[in-house]
Structure 1
């Protein structure tokens, strides 16, 4: 990967867990790029991801629990590394190519992940998540006779969700040929759903074409969020609506964990990571959610001010940041905490600002 975003917020902002995060990061730096210890990297990625998620299931968890978890993971990694040492001469593992093209690397990563998702993740889950997020934020989409675009559609799961919501026609674009092939197969029996290989920064559509443009978790993996936002607005019709989801900064322990593990997993080939997780008995859908952001070269966290500045640059004045989400969303957990009147001074370290989902109208 020629370009690798490398932002671990908790290492430089005086967070309660800065010391433990630094020790975790230092341990894996010291391990070096020894391919015979890649199993340790993958196992710790699985274990820390899973335990962090479980920790956050309790909205009243303590930051001291996360600090202890980071220290426990270092001790576990040390034990695993010692145990594997005796087998090093018998192991041969390919390492990741640090000079690989960023976009091709990301295409291959997501192409494989989306291809392996089951039907529930492609159809029902995506529709349920989107419908919940719309309903809880009092957004009623006008879909009858309308045309929608899904920018960075991946395997097409949200493209199909948009069709199920009632749009007359839905287009999905993605830079990965593998994703487009997967999406086409998934939607072959559904009318008026079209997929096209295209760059989110150079959409192959005329100005003012779509009633609704949906871009969900895509541009934070690109070299320019700003250029992507500009393209989204360009293809929206006047009085059309847009949806934009970007990673939040501050990110809380979820994104601290992701960023720590991105550095841990940088020397590891995605295929090796996927195969190892399968050997550990991890279901394909869980593999998707574990490796989603961890195995990509670019993973940009943005503040609400940064995002709103980019939206305003395109003469958008009618927009709102969504205050609620699905049950699994951090923004929903924050909403529930605020409803209880809980004055948790550690909230910003635990959950960050919650997901940045914006809904906006082009005048």
Structure 2
């Protein structure tokens, strides 16, 4: 047992692993072809407490901590279940509601999110703005007791299944201040674009979202006006640590699979593992994966103790995503031609991992954040 985890975390891991092996793994291929995961899976996961594990029990969650979050992230990464958008829903959207939501908002939305009935998304990215969130153009104007929202979002994870959209807007187009407003799926004027075709994460329903004079009550505002950027910044440290946790778990799992593959695969009359180059490459991956795991666990421990900073979160994402890309490439090479076949997990994981250096803030943005602490 890794020291960052307690016994209750490992019991939760057993439950999560059983669910993933029985309900997710056999269906991943079909969902990747469809480009979306059925909502019925969300409800099944909610029934046994696998969603929104850090949400307090009074709002339908499990009342757990970031250790329980990490367990679910790792178990999905272990089987490369990148189609499953539980993490965005449970570890990004739900914490925004817990941290900044009114009591009425928490009671209205969190129990349905924990049960899997309501799927949450965070709508920040827009066409053409990249990581510069303050330059977004989606605007909201106040009319009496309503906000009227107009704009467009893109690259939205869970966009196809979205039921609750935490939307970043501007009340003043000339300002760089942001305001978060919650929009429900059935609101007039709100619509979803087609699912976006990506080179990886093919089962993840990523889409554009459109707001055409969408009217929502002022009570749907999350937190205070013009404080959205500070809310986003505060939450991003954990969101970036999530990417590092997923990266480390992915490398660990694919290393184990590659060791077994090279023992079983024979060329020139002997196992691939028996070639010194193979053993040396695997040894390098093992050493770097162990180093990554130690650092990621340290970052997770900081998050669990409330000590995680923006700089540490950025470092976790930077080294995690960069090493994941480098090490999975080495492991794919050891599979030879079969590594390029989509039926092998290594090939799919290698393609899926590429976006980790982009979403959540690019590697270049992570370096900028880290450099400010020098």
TM-score, L = length of structure 2: 0.25
Structure with the bigger RCO (C-alpha within 8 Å, sep 6+) is 1
Report the TM-score, using the length of structure 1 for normalisation: 0.26
